[in-house]
């Protein structure tokens, strides 16, 4: 890697449900927001990467944005679509080949839990027919065991959701914008024990676009940039335990999140203690808890104390999911990972208004960390720096 | 007895076994791979007894391709029968995902002993499951009485 790469524009289409606007139209909206944020026009963009899981190809967006003949690569990488689009556009600039790139992710899913086809994941039909191929079950099975081994209580699961909805009230782009109290969360219908309805995120709609620039270009434009300190994307190591697995090895294996986190910290030359704000994959309450440890921010079991003491609240020692995360924003697969990066860009620029993390300086945090996880077992981490 | 949900998923006979595979490295996997991935993999009869590794409940009707109660024509969520499922560690072999039957949610704890069984799944098919060893023994006692 040669060139430093900066995010100089960030745009979002509010998450949730937007009847009458397709996923791709939401993507176009986000691109225009990002361009306006960066003070650029569409013909300035030299290359683009983007995609969705369920709302069509990204490259068709040129119909609305303008036929500028730029190379536009469709990314189809499941839950890592946004992360992969970001990694590809970063590499395009780091290589020195381009000075301005777009990363965009959008989606629009039907209501209710995701349904996956066994054959798409190399699994036998019986696994789906008998009702075992549900992402929600995986997260429940993973946190159930984790709670037994590390002494995490059901109340702590509830506190994660309570925090998410509270933070969501402060984020204009969030879907769920009303607080939900702990009792309501704990007593809601059980979806997959120990997780109740309010502890799961829902498939949703939304879009995020980021404009990336070389250092030279950023200076030339006089743009307000946030540096991409490192990006790491990792798939499964041997013997790992991931979503959609009919059989798991008796040997305890590695975890893609641990690998991505270590690689990102190593490349950045900093450690978890340097991070001032973190967005961690919270498909459900338990995922945020486990991902706090897998990303190196606490030891297994310490989350009980963290949540009881509010250490991951906006004013705490490490604010986690400051816009309410997937729980409050919903999960449009193609956009979700980029929403985390968008939120960190806003936080590092000190533009997060009511949900602004003060940081040591009082002007916002210096380092922001984002982590996305998805099927069939992959993680993408991005560390941003305010320079 | 209905049809097997998958003809190769478990062995036939009075003491059926779930079918896994033994890789050239000696590692046991589940399910037995198919197609080119089965090359060099020996079919392997998995243990009938194991320990509970994790568990959950399924409280809502899964979407397609689910074929259990509630999924048929004219059926819906009121016809769905919630079920328990979990991972069962077969010592020295592999951890398998399975339905858990003849148990209540509050009975489930890490490490409880479970045994393999075949259970009706829908009007036409059977599937596999694991049930607490104690409950199957008490059922036998009950029958004997």
The interface predicted TM-score of the complex, written ipTM, equals 0.91
Q: Which residues are CB-contacts of B14 (< 8 A; sequence separation ≥ 6)? A: none
| Chain A residues close to B121, C-beta within 8 Å | 130
Residues of A in contact with B36 (CB under 8 A): none
pLDDT at position B142 over 50: no
Q: What is the mean pLDDT of chain B?
A: 91
List the single residue in A with minimal CA-CA distance to B100: A132
Q: What is the pLDDT of residue B1?
A: 73
A5-111+201-385 folds as Peroxisomal Thiolase; Chain A, domain 1 (3.40.47)
Query: Measured between CB atoms, which of A115, A145, A190 is closest to B54?
Result: A145
pLDDT reading at B136 higher than 70 = no
| pLDDT, position A110 | 82
Residues A208 and A30: beta-carbon distance below 8 Å: yes
Q: In Å, what is the CA distance from A127 to each residue of A120, A331, B66, B124?
A: 12, 24, 9, 17
Touching B: A residues 119-158, CB under 8 Å = 124-126, 128-134, 137, 140-142, 144-145, 148-149
**A362 CB near a chain B CB, below 8 Å?**
no
A1 interfacial to chain B (CB closer than 8 Å): no
Question: Residue B96 forms beta bridges with which residues?
Answer: A247, B88
Would you kindly state where each structural domain of chain B is located, as residue ranges? 3-144
List, run by run, the mean pLDDT of 10-residue segments along chain A (387 residues). 86 96 97 98 98 93 97 90 93 96 95 78 92 92 97 98 98 96 97 96 95 97 95 93 93 95 97 98 96 98 98 97 97 94 97 93 92 90 96
Cβ of residue A248 closer than 8 Å to a chain B Cβ: yes
- The answer to whether residue B138 scores a pLDDT higher than 60 is no
Q: Is B134 exposed, middle or buried (0-12, 13-18, 19+ CB in 10 A)?
A: middle
- Token pair recorded at residue A307: 């949540």
Measured CA to CA, the distance from residue B143 to residue A255 in angstroms comes to 47
β-strand partners of B90:
B94
């Amino acid at each position: 890697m040669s060139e430093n790469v900066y995010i100089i524009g960030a745009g979002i289409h509010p998450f949730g449900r937007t009847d009458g606007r397709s996923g791709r139209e939401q993507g176009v909206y986000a691109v225009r927001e990002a361009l306006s944020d960066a003070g650029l026009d569409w013909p300035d963009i030299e290359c683009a990467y983007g995609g969705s899981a369920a709302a069509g190809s990204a490259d068709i967006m040129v119909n609305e944005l303008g036929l500028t003949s730029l190379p536009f690569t469709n990314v189809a990488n499941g839950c890592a679509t946004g992360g992969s689009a970001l990694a590809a556009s970063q590499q395009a600039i780091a290589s020195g080949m381009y000075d301005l790139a777009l990363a965009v992710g959008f989606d629009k899913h039907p209501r209710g839990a995701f349904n996956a086809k066994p054959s798409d994941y190399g699994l036998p039909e019986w696994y789906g027919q008998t009702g075992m191929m549900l992402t929600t079950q995986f997260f429940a099975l993973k946190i159930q065991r984790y709670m037994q081994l590390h002494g995490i209580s059901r109340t702590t699961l509830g506190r994660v959701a309570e925090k998410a909805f509270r933070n969501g009230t402060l984020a204009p782009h969030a879907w769920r914008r009303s607080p939900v109290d702990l009792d309501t969360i704990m007593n809601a219908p059980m979806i997959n024990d120990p997780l109740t309805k309010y502890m799961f995120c829902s498939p949703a709609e939304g879009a995020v676009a980021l404009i990336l620039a070389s250092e030279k270009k950023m200076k030339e434009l006089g743009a307000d940039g946030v540096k991409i300190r490192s990006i790491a994307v990792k798939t499964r190591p041997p013997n790992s335990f991931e979503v959609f697995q009919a059989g798991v090895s008796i040997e305890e294996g590695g975890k893609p999140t641990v690998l991505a986190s270590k690689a990102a910290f190593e490349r950045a030359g900093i450690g978890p203690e340097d991070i001032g704000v973190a967005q961690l994959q919270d498909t459900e309450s338990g995922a945020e808890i486990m991902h706090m440890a897998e990303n190196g921010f606490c030891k297994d079991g310490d989350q009980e104390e963290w949540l009881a003491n509010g250490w991951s609240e906006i004013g705490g020692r490490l604010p986690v999911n400051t816009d309410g995360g997937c729980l409050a924003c919903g999960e449009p697969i193609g956009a979700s990972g980029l929403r985390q990066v968008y939120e960190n860009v806003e936080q590092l620029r000190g533009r997060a208004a009511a949900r602004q993390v003060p940081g040591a300086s009082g002007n916002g945090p210096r380092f922001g960390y984002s982590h996305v996880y998805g099927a069939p077992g992959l993680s993408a981490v991005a560390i941003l720096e305010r320079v | 007895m209905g049809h097997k949900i998958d003809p190769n998923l478990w062995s036939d006979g009075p003491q059926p076994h779930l079918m896994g595979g033994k890789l050239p490295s000696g590692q046991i996997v589940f399910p037995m791979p198919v197609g080119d991935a089965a090359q060099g993999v020996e079919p392997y009869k998995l243990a009938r007894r194991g320990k509970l590794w994790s568990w959950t409940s399924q409280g809502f009707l899964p979407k397609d391709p689910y074929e259990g109660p509630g999924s048929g024509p004219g059926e819906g969520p009121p016809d769905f029968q919630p079920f328990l499922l979990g991972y069962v560690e077969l010592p020295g072999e592999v951890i398998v995902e399975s339905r858990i039957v003849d148990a209540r949610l509050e009975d489930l704890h890490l490490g409880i002993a479970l045994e393999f069984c075949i259970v009706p799944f829908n009007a036409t098919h059977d599937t596999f499951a694991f049930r607490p060893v104690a409950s199957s023994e008490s059922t036998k006692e009950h029958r004997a009485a």
